[in-house]
Each structure stands twice: as structure tokens, then as C-alpha cells.
Homo-oligomer: A and B are copies of this chain.
């Protein structure tokens, strides 16, 4: 039962990699076609435009993140457990995202207005999940925070930022990084 993977999916997969390498504006559809094993013009049998590829990628990625995160959080009894899982998930997703995964704040500006709105909406939905955990921590556990939105942003930037420097061959693996970040977020720097 071989996994059949459609040409469309191959293109998305390669587009994700190419956009990560060069960024959307600098990425070249002929190069994308080459990597996908077809000719330049053939891309247009699968997508209406370069913009659509970017949008599909980001849209899929945001939906995927939301769905997976929700899966990961299932069965986490306490806000602390949820936070721990969130940090791990977010770092992992950005560092070793599955194929067809692509999301960068910096590329948001390359989305056409309507697409922009859709993606930002989904991003905000994700962000609200993060905020929800923080809020629940405050309510149920007396966590020490005033502005969940603000801290949610800090958390997300911090974790997503790992992707800019992480190297598989480095000293720390993802679990270790996630543990350290969780500890920082929970306990802070000052001794107790």
C-alpha cells in the first residue's frame, strides 16, 4: 500500500523548502518546477499563481498547527502541563515542521490583502490558545502575569526564534531546548 503523493503535494512540499531557503520574493517558480520534476508552465495546472502557493502553504500550516497543538494539549490536566507541551510543540514545529509547512511573520507582507486577513485570523486563533493557557494558569494557579496577550507573544517569538539558529548537529536537541525554555518561563532567572 504505497503512499501516493500527488504532484500538487510535491509542489507544495518543495515550495515550502524553497521559500524557507530564499524567501518568497526571491524564490523562482522555474526552480520550484525543477525541484518538483516538472516544467515551469506545468505549475499552473495545479495552482493559479505563485501567490496561491504561498497562501495554500500558510493556510495549511496554520490549520495544521492549530489542529496538532490541540491534539497535543489533549489530556493535559494542568496549565503547567499544557504550557510544557506547548513550548515543546511550538519549537519542534518550527524547527522540524512536516512537509508542506511554511510560516514566517516576515512573509505576511507578501500576502495579498484577502489572503493576509485569512492567515492573520488563523494566527490569532492560535495565539488565543496560547493566551488561554496563560489565563487559565493565572485563574487556577495564581500565575504571576498581568497581560496574557503580551506574554503569549513573548512566548511564541522566543520559541519560533529557535528555528533561526537551531542545527541538528548542535549540542542541544529539541527536548532539551524546550525544557530550558519552559523552566525560564516558569521560574525566571532570579533565585527563589
Q: A146 an interface residue at 8 Å Cβ cutoff? A: yes
A93 interface residue (CB < 8 Å to B): no
**Complex interface: chain B residues within 8 A of A25 (CB):** 23, 25-26
Mostly helix, strand, loop or mixed at chain A's interface? helix
List residues 163-185 of chain A with CB under 8 A from any CB of chain B: 164-165, 172, 177, 180-181, 183-185
Contact of A37 with B by CB under 8 A = no
- Assess whether B23 is in contact with A184, with CB atoms less than 8 Å apart: no
- Copies of this protein chain in the complex: 4
Interface residues on chain A, number (Cβ under 8 Å): 47
In contact, A153 and B137 (Cβ under 8 angstroms): no
The answer, yes or no, to whether A16 is at the interface (CB within 8 Å) is no
Q: Which of A4-12, A69-77, A101-109 is near enough to bind chain B?
A: A101-109
Bound complex: CA of A134 vs CA of B189, how far in Å? 9
Partner of A188, one of B26, B109, B154, B188: B188
In the complex formed, the residue of B with least CB distance to A151 is B184
**Chain B residues near A156 (CB-CB < 8 A):** 161
User: Nearest Cβ in chain B — how far from A23, in angstroms?
Assistant: 6
Q: Is A158 an interface residue (CB 8 A)?
A: yes
